[in-house]
Structure 1
């Protein structure tokens, strides 16, 4: 699957955000579980324990009311008894409704049965009191007292049962908290490691080919075209850029090699042209001297003219070859200039992509900062839970103090308060551990932010290298412009030399005709020879210019190492 650089970065940072979002969601979920379990223990067990304690207190109120009535006969005590009795029945019914398992229901029903038996005995005592029968006193000392003791024992048994359930719930909650802490820590460490690996691989995928390309472009800018092609596995924009760079270097190497070969041919031809021009000048001088001294030397002059004509034809042939090579050089230079512009456009595209990468990395870093802020909010929530646990602990301590003041009747409530205090202390410790874990997450988030900032810095370095590559391409384009200009000058000079050579051939043909028609016209031949000499001097001058241009072209080409 072909993915662009921007998509790779987006998928990498999206994976990091999802991992840290999973950690944050799991932490929030586990905190909710701890709070729900804690609230369930308070609602289900502590409230039931308090209800049983209330039953014992109401039983004491009933006993106090009936004994007051039996001792004093005051109906006010009887009214207090009736009120306590109604409340007692209401609490027993509520206890039966709250009973969640079989044993709770059995104990609640047994309390109801004992209370009914107690009410039957109380009714008998009231009846004996109204009949002024002292038998109620024996009932108070025997059945009344025994049933009260049985009721309290059964109530204590139910309280112990609720306390055992409370302890089991506490242990289960603590185990759940420890398990959640372990899972959250493992996932957090895994998320941090995964984020670091993703950041490392993304930075390596981007920076390695860019560094290779920058090194290759530096060598090209220095004139070294002997390097091998860069091999990368990227199939994105960077991979396309590397392939274009390899093709540009190969085409530039071929172009420079062709220009070098052509310049050598031009130099060789210019040297031959200069030598031929010198020979022609010397021959013309000799012919002029001979024609002035002796008309009889016409045959020899004619022979010389034929040699000169042959040389001029060779020069013309060489000039045609030079003209053809110059056209090839001009085409090659124009092709090199086109490839250089194409490479410059590719570098500009890479610069634009690197700017988009820089923007994407900055956006991902901003998301990580937001995640760090959410972690701080979770830390504040945990701190709030710690404060609630401390307040619960303080309330439990106050309740234990009040229970101690109540004496024997508050002993059971003191046990419950102590258990509540332990639960609050355990919640506080769990909150502290969660707080530490959140701190660890925040610390690792900072490491992830640093890793992303490092990746961002590497992207900026890659952008700087790409800008340097763009400058190198500009320099290459400037150099190719100079080469094209020099080649155009060579081509123009060759055209001038070709025209001059044609003129020389025409002149030599005329001179030869004149020499063959009339040997006596030596003075006219001498004049034609002088004209030829002047033409040869022009040819020699043009050959010198061509040789100079060839040297300049070779000097430019020598900057490149093939």
Structure 2
């Protein structure tokens, strides 16, 4: 158990050393050193926004491709409808030929020509939409058959019926029926081909939607991870140096001037603060050393002054020479106090420079905060773009639902055709009964009635096939509708996911805001150091004032020899006070570690 724990600690320590080396290498990149704090955080923000923008554009293009494929599905459905209408036209042509043979009514000629014109109209719409060579060739054969049927009707059946050449127009009618049956079969084959193409288009559209969702999910995850990692990476680089600066500042504030200097190579605000802290530490070391020297000097002179006062008290004849020495010592002390005051003024200037650097860091943090706000705004725009994508998917679902409605209308039309075929079959049966009653004179009419009945049966069979085709189209349409509904649900989930990403970006903004507050606290601490230094400067000024008072007292003592004893007592008291002040100064200096 202990061995496993020790192994984990070693592994953790190695990982920490590796991360530290990696951070040091990245932080020592030349162009990185020249960037300000706001610019460094701006780089991370730019990377995050760029990744999200690329993800949005890529998803948009994939959805546009899927929408184009759905249009292809719709076009295939329209083509299948027109093929079905074409088959219905050929059936109608066959029945029109039969009706013309029965009653020779000219209105059937107009009906036949109108049907030919309708087919030509459908042909103009179908032919350009066919892209495969097989479908084009098959439709060309259908067109050729249509021309043959038209030629047989106008060139053979029409004149033979007028001339009552029964055998000839019956043979022509049989030939036309065969061509119509062949043409309907070709139309059914063409419809099957288009149905297969529609299945391929549906499959391709499904694959495109799945790919879009996968790309969207992966791009959002990668963008979020890289964005957060870049923010954390930059924050860790900066926080390491800031923690080191805070540590050095705390050590200096506690009196430890022997702490190692902050090492940071760069041009940003943290580097300026590091150099200011190092300069302040060096100045404080020099200043404290000189203060220590002056304090020792003051202590020594105070002792000499005390001894001199005792000697003057014992032997007044030596007062003149002793007073001269005391006067010289007091002047030196005043001079030392003046130098100490000047050094303290210089120290105050350095502290103010450090405070100004802290304010610059605070301003840079505010700039980073502003950039993060802009990033949050761009994130909201991405959410709006995702809403537009959601609308596009909803429009595709509505279009496929419209296709399903058109298919239902075809079913109703086929049902009407079936009813007409049943009525035709019934009429043919009645005609056969009447022909049987007419006997020999109704034999030809019976043949026609039998042909009409056969034609009605063929129509019934064709309508049955058309019904199955339409049902197949409806089934595929329902599948496409289900797939689109599923894709639409996935897009809604993607919309919710990008909303969650926006909330994550808001958390990043809150973290940057907290860092800005911490930088403000550091700036406030530097201001407190400045205030403390101001009070220290006042204390040193008091020492200088005391030194000047001592010198004045000594001069007064030299000028008033008549009051020697009384003056010596005052000098002794002043020397004692000066010694106590020197001890206080020594105790203050002892708090610093040089």
TM tier, smaller:
0.7 to 0.9
Shift of 1:140: 5.5
Of residues 177, 189, 194, the one that matches 1:145 is 177
**In the alignment, is residue 181 of structure 1 matched against residue 213 of structure 2?**
yes
Deviation at 1:458, TM superposition (A): 2.4
> Does structure 2 retain, via aligned residues, the 8 Å contact 1:319–1:497?
no
Q: Distance in 2 between matches of 1:419 and 1:337?
A: 85
Q: Rg bigger for which structure?
A: 1
* Residue 199 of structure 1 pairs with residue 255 of structure 2: no
| Aligned residue in 2 for 1:458 | 515
CA distance in 2: counterparts of 1:374 and 1:457, whole angstroms: 30
In structure 2, stretches of 5+ residues that fail to align are 1-30, 419-462
Compute the displacement of 1:423 (Å): 2.6
Compute the displacement of 1:137 (Å).
5.4
The structure 2 residue matched to 1:350, chosen from 336, 361, 365, is 361
Q: 1:362 to 1:153 in 2, by over 3 A?
A: closer
Distance in 2 (CA, whole Å) between partners of 1:87 and 1:403 is 17
The yes-or-no answer on 1:364 pairing with 2:421 is no
Q: Where does residue 480 of structure 2 map in the other structure? A: 423
State the alpha-carbon separation in 1 of the partners of residues 117 and 259 from structure 2.
Answer: 104
Match of 1:522 in 2: none
Cα distance in structure 2, aligned partners of 1:349 and 1:395: 69
- Name 2:541's counterpart in structure 1: 485
Q: Does 1:165 align with 2:165?
A: no
Secondary structure at the counterpart of residue 267 of structure 2: coil
- Say whether 1:57 aligns with 2:88: yes
* 8 Å CA contact retained: 1:233, 1:239: yes
Counterpart selection for 2:581 from 549, 556, 559: 549
| Distance apart, 1:100 and its partner CA | 2.6
Matched, 1:25 2:65: no
The structural deviation recorded for 1:497 is 5.5
380-389 or 343-352, larger mean C-alpha shift = 380-389
Alignment gaps of 5+ in structure 1:
285-304, 508-527
Cα RMSD (Å): 2.9
* CA deviation after TM superposition for structure 1 residue 20, in Å: 1.2
Matches within 5 A, 1:254-269: 254-269=286-301
Q: Distance in 1 between matches of 2:359 and 2:126?
A: 82
- Specify which of 435, 441, 450 is matched with residue 498 of structure 2: 441
Cα offset, 1:257, TM superposition: 2.6
Q: Which of 548, 555, 566 lines up with 1:499 in the alignment?
A: 555
Alignment of 1:334 with 2:319, yes or no, is no
Distance 1:116 1:478, change over 3 A: same
Q: Which residue of 2 aligns with 1:236?
A: 268
> 2-side partners of 1:76 and 1:484: how far apart?
128
Q: Work out whether residues 404 and 411 of structure 1, in 8 Å CA contact, stay in contact via their aligned partners in 2.
A: no
Instruction: Please tell me whether the aligned partners of residues 217 and 472 of structure 1 are also in contact (alpha carbons under 8 angstroms).
Output: no
Out of 67, 72, 77, the position equivalent to 1:35 is: 67
Is the 1:65–1:81 Cα contact (8 Å) retained in structure 2?
yes
After superposition, residues 218-367 of structure 1 pair within 5 angstroms as 218-284=250-316, 305=317, 311-312=322-323, 314-315=325-326, 318-367=329-378
2:186 equivalent to 1:130: no
Work out whether 1:468 is the aligned partner of 2:525. Answer: yes
Task: Name which of 112, 121, 130 aligns with 2:143.
Answer: 112
1: CA distance between counterparts of 2:369 and 2:40? 13
User: 1:422-477 CA distances to partner (integer Å, 9 max, x unpaired)?
Assistant: 33332222222233233323323322322332232222223223323322332x22
3-state SS, counterpart of residue 276 of structure 1 = helix
Q: Which moved more, 1:239-248 or 1:89-98?
A: 89-98
Change (3 A) 1:380 1:357: same
Deviations 1:73-96 (A, max 9, x none): 222223212221232344335444
Distance in structure 1 (CA, Å) of the matches to 2:403 and 2:150:
40
Separation (CA, whole Å) in 1 of partners of 2:404 and 2:147: 40
Q: Separation in 1 of the partners of 2:503 and 2:288? A: 53
Q: Distance in 1 between matches of 2:307 and 2:290?
A: 26
Question: Partner of 1:549: helix, strand, or coil?
Answer: helix
2:309–2:568 Cα contact (<8 Å) kept: yes
Q: 1:379 to 1:205 in 2, by over 3 A?
A: farther
The CA distance in 1 between the partners of 2:321 and 2:517, in whole Å, is 68
Tell me: CA distance 1:105–1:334, structure 2 relative to 1, closer, same or farther (3 Å).
Answer: closer
Pick closer, same or farther for the CA change 1:387–1:267 going to 2, 3 Å: farther
Q: Secondary structure at the match of 2:315?
A: helix
1:236 positional shift? 0.3
State the SS of the aligned residue for 1:190.
Answer: helix
Q: 1:77 aligns with which of 108, 117, 132?
A: 108
**Aligned-partner Cα distance in 2 for 1:98–1:342:** 79
* Cα separation, partners in 2 of 1:161 and 1:495, compared to 1, 3 Å: same
Q: Tell me, in whole angstroms, the C-alpha distance in 2 between the residues paired with 1:93 and 1:339.
A: 90
Deviations 1:223-259 (A, max 9, x none): 4434222233453012101210121122113212321
How far has the Cα of 1:308 moved from its partner?
A: 5.7
Residue pair 1:403, 1:413 contacting (<8 A) in 2 also: no
Greater alpha carbon shift after TM alignment, 455-464 vs 105-114? 455-464
Question: Using a 3 Å threshold, how does the CA distance of structure 1 residues 81 and 372 change in structure 2: closer, same or farther?
Answer: closer
CA deviation string 1:128-166 (max 9, x = no partner): 211111114532663122111111111112112222222
Moved more, 214-223 or 232-241: 214-223
C-alpha deviation, 1:122, in angstroms = 1.9
Q: 1:477 to 1:466 in 2, by over 3 A?
A: same
Closer, same or farther: CA 339–95 of 1 in aligned 2, 3 Å: closer
Q: How many residues align?
A: 514
Contact 2:86 2:122 in 1 (8 A): yes
Give the one of 382, 387, 408 matched to 1:398.
408
Indicate conservation of the 8 Å contact 1:273/1:540, yes or no.
Answer: yes
